[in-house]
Amino acid sequence: MKPRHFLSLLDLSAAELKRLMTRAMELKSLQRRGKRHTTLAGKTMAMIFEKSSTRTRVSFEAGMAQLGGVSLFLSPRDTHLDRGEAVEDTARVLSRMVDIIVIRANSHAMVERFAAHSRVPVINALTELNHPCQLLADIQTYLEKRGKIAGKKAAWIGDGNNVCHSWIDASHQFKFQLNIATPRGYEPKPEWVSACRDHVTLHHEPAQAAKGADIVVTDTWASMGQEHEKAERTKAFSGFMVDNTLMKLAKKDAVFMHCLPAYRGAEVAADVIDGPQSVVWDEAENRLHAQKALLEFLLASPSKK
């Protein structure tokens, strides 16, 4: 029997994602009202993080505690993964001891190998290819702020990175249009675009992508591990800052999103991220609620034969 994993948004059906969003909002309401909801009492979650994290680690640990379970955090110095132990062996052993495993890794291939040999569900908490947990929070935030997202238009401004890839997956699963504007040479991977081509359009001018958008979203120009490229990237992304001039091209009720950490004066102007159209702090909070719904979903889902 194979467990359900969450390595990308495409691992769940559109109907399952819709139910998960509904449950995330229910859990948020319960937490806000101080109602106990210990649906995962007695469960244990292991977290293997090869990269640093603020929001992801805290939201998973706090979420599991609120659901009544416990968490074990394993940094690179706490495992033998970087000292030669086979990923497959670590997966076989850990999955006999805990109920669910969350991994933030340098290599998506490693997470896939881990999941293939795990007896329990594995969650992708960010790889170089995608960041599906972030999109759960982003979609929940839009649903709360503006309602239905199907048929809407989102504008991704900046690097065609791992978060951009998950926005592409989301456009397919939630049926909205995604206009992506990147500098030449920084586009998302062609296979990602091709798989969702009915929902994705590529541009190299931010204004073209932002025109008439319901959502404007961006991310840092140099992600973790790309710090040595910062000067080169700053030059390449000149003209891709989301400022009020760009926001005025979107719809009047458009929202601004950013997965954080943000760099004011680089990818986003301070008066946008701190302005009235920004929903960035709700996005950050919703990592907690959306991931709690995901934990419940995966631990309640029947295994596949």
What is d(CA 234, CA 232) in angstroms, rounded to the nearest whole number?
Answer: 6
203: annotated active-site residue: no
What is d(CA 120, CA 96) in angstroms, rounded to the nearest whole number?
Answer: 8
Tokens 């990592």 sit on residue: 287
- Candidates 260, 278, 295; CA nearest to 55 is 260
For 302, counting Cβ atoms within 10 Å of its Cβ (0-12 exposed, 13-18 middle, 19+ buried), the class is exposed
199: annotated active-site residue: no
Give the count of beta carbons closer than 10 Å to the beta carbon of residue 231.
9
Catalytically annotated residue among 31, 66, 134, 291: 134
66: annotated active-site residue: no
What is d(CA 166, CA 134) in angstroms, rounded to the nearest whole number?
Answer: 8
104: annotated active-site residue: yes
Catalytically annotated residue among 4, 104, 203, 258: 104
Catalytically annotated residue among 138, 159, 169, 219: 219
164: annotated active-site residue: no
- Burial code (b: 16+ CB inside 10 Å, e: under 16) for 90-103 equals bbeebbeebbbbbb
134: annotated active-site residue: yes
Catalytically annotated residue among 4, 55, 108, 131: 131
Angle formed by the axes of helices 132-146 and 162-174, nearest 10° = 50
What is d(CA 101, CA 173) in angstroms, rounded to the nearest whole number?
Answer: 24
Catalytically annotated residue among 55, 165, 259, 291: 259
Enzyme catalytic residues: 104, 131, 134, 219, 259, 287
